[in-house]
Each structure stands twice: as structure tokens, then as C-alpha cells.
A and B are shown apart, each in its own frame.
Chain A
Amino acid sequence: MTADQEAWFDDAAGPLVRPYAVTGGRTRSDTIGLDLITLVVAVREHADHLEPESLRILQVSQKPISVVEVAAAVNLPLQVVKVLLSDLITQNLMIYRSAMQTTTQAPSPHVLQAVLDGIRKL
């Protein structure tokens, strides 16, 4: 029933949650806590045992790239990409730079000034 389905997503109907991504037939989760703009980079070009999705992720991440850009590049939902990335990182096939610097504390004056200057120069 359309009306009911619609109601599932109304604020009044309760909280919305991200589902655990089901990949490779198992339910897995992002164990690292990747942010949208966490930067990742592959340390290898290939690994034999990988699922096709993970291999594609490895391939688009040969240069540092943000989590959200990886998702757009491989055309998979964000949280699926986060799970696959977190597996790849755990397997030492990729490394990441946490965006923590900007999420837990105020950005440094130096960064703010660089952003302002950068926009001015556009």
C-alpha cells in the first residue's frame, strides 16, 4: 500500500537507520567509522581474492580520493562502499587519513585562511 510505505519514512513513524550493508552474502559493517570526506588510497593495484566491487574500489583509489568520491566512481551506495573500504583497509590493501582533525576539533586558523585564499583565487 503506497500510503503505508510512504509513512515508513515520515518523521512521526520513527527513526530512520542505515541498514547494515549486506555484501558477499554476509552482514558486515564499517569497523573504522569512515566519514564522507575521509581520504583513502590503495597501496596495491591488485589482489587475487577480491570481489569485483572491491577490486573496482582499489582501482579508482590509486590516488588519494575521498570516501564519497569512491562511492560516486563505483556507483554503489555509500554505506556499502564504507563496508568494502573498511575491509580493504583491514586487509592492508588501502590506507586512510581520518577526517577526525576536522570533525572533533575546530579547524586550524591556517586551514581556514588557506580555504579563503583558495576560493578567492578561483
Chain B
Amino acid sequence: MESGNSERNVSAAAVKIVIAGGFGVGKTTMVGSVSEVPPLRTEELITEASAGVDDLSGVESKHTTTVALDFGRITINPQLILYLFGTPGQDRFWFMWDELARGALGAVVLADTRRLDSCFPAVDFFERRGLPFVVGVNCFDDAYHYTVDEVRMALDLDPSVPVLLCDARGRESTKQVLITLMQHVMSRAGLTGAASGR
């Protein structure tokens, strides 16, 4: 135990969950549906890497672009804050995914029933990293409605990965997705008390 002598100290801890999926699938909407603040947005600068650069003092302006990521916040208790991060829509910003996934409790892969294949990269990414994830099938009104089993088959998921239908706009629906994720994370960690898988 640490007893801080300074007037101020940081005794709280922060954890995060990643919401991933293809372009326009409803990631920001899902973050916003449960966040206690409207989704916040921040940007990261990206520069093209040039091989063999050993002089970093130069202020040459290389090609620079920005990638935006948005996030929400849930104060679990005064000592614990949960952040929800929506991944950047474009898959090419993989290193951003790395930073987002590092240390995450788990991830939600949002699948779009209009374009199921758009979440393949996210599924691959989390499978490869061994990060526990659930698949939320965001049901757009105008889309063909798959069954959970059809989605599971199409994504070739491990039977232990929970799949559930959801509406990213709905608070209760998003809560259910996150609860399912946490139960999955806990059962993967061998913790009792969490209901199995789905």
C-alpha cells in the first residue's frame, strides 16, 4: 500500500475496452450510448517512415496526416475509470490499433449486417493478439437480418466467442454487449462467478 504524502495523488486506476469494426458500423454510436460524457475525439499525427533516417533533429516536413479516435468514459467508482475506445475506421492505421489494444480488458467487434466482411480484419486482429472479444451484430433497419449462427459461421469464429445481436444506439443493448464481454473475459481468465460464455 502506498500512502501519498503529496497534497494530490493519483490513486485511481483506469482500464479500457476497445470497440472495433469496419467503417461506419456504429462504433462511435455505441461508445456514446453508455458514456457519461459525449464521445470525445482526439487526433494522432502520422508521418511516413523513411528508411535509414538517423537524424531526428531535422524539422523536415514529411507527409503528415491525422487519424482520429474517439472515446467515452464510465466512472465505475471513485477508484476505477473505464474508457471505451472506438477504433479509427480505416484499417490501415494498424499501429493505432496496437496502442488501443495494449492492456485492454477486451474488445467488442461490431459487425455490420450490410457488409459482414468489413469486420474480418478486426476479428483477425484480436484473435492473433489473443485479446478476448465478443461480436455484436449491429442491426440496421434496412439490412438483411442474420441469425447469430449465420454470423458465427460467416466469421468462422471459435465456438467460445459470444455473438449477440445489438442496437448500437440503445443503452440497454450496449450494456448487454459489455456485460457479455466482461463475463467472457472472466471465464477465459478462469474466474468463477461469471456466467459461461453467452
Contacts and interface: CB of A to CB of B under 8 A. Distances in A.
Q: Which of B10, B82, B94 has the most CB of A within 10 A?
A: B10
A39 B81 CA distance: 10
Given A9-B92, A69-B73, A95-B10, A118 B193 contact: no
Nearest to B82: A115
Contacts of A116: 179, 182-183, 186, 194
A52 interface: no
Nearest to A43: B8
B57 A27 contact: yes
Nearest to A101: B13
A13 B48 contact: yes
A24 interface: no
A122 B34 contact: yes
Interface in A68-96: 68-69, 71-72, 77-80, 95-96
B13 A102 contact: yes
A118 B179 contact: no
Contacts of A68: 40, 42, 71, 83
A16 B83 contact: no
B115 interface: no
A interface, size bucket:
35 or more
A72 B193 CA distance: 37
A119 B92 contact: no
Interface in B173-198: 175, 178-179, 182-183, 185-186, 189, 191, 193-194
B114 to A, nearest CB: 25
Given A64-B12, A120-B175, A114 B76 contact: yes
Interface stretch (B21-29, B97-105, B135-143, B155-163): B97-105
A13 B40 CA distance: 31
A14 B7 contact: no
Contacts of B182: 112, 115-116, 119
A103 B34 CA distance: 24
Contacts of A79: 44-45
Contacts of B45: 18-19, 21, 77-80
Given A27-B59, A111-B13, 10 more contacts: A14-B51, A16-B49, A17-B95, A18-B95, A19-B46, A39-B12, A42-B8, A72-B40, A72-B42, A119-B182
Closest 6 CB pairs of A and B: A103-B103, A118-B76, A97-B10, A19-B47, A72-B40, A116-B182
24 contacts: A9-B63, A9-B92, A10-B92, A13-B48, A16-B46, A18-B95, A19-B64, A27-B59, A36-B99, A37-B15, A37-B81, A39-B13, A42-B8, A66-B81, A68-B40, A69-B73, A95-B9, A96-B10, A99-B13, A99-B14, A111-B15, A113-B186, A114-B76, A115-B76
Interface of A: 5, 8-11, 13-22, 27, 35-43, 64, 66, 68-69, 71-72, 77-80, 95-97, 99, 101-104, 106-107, 109, 111-120, 122
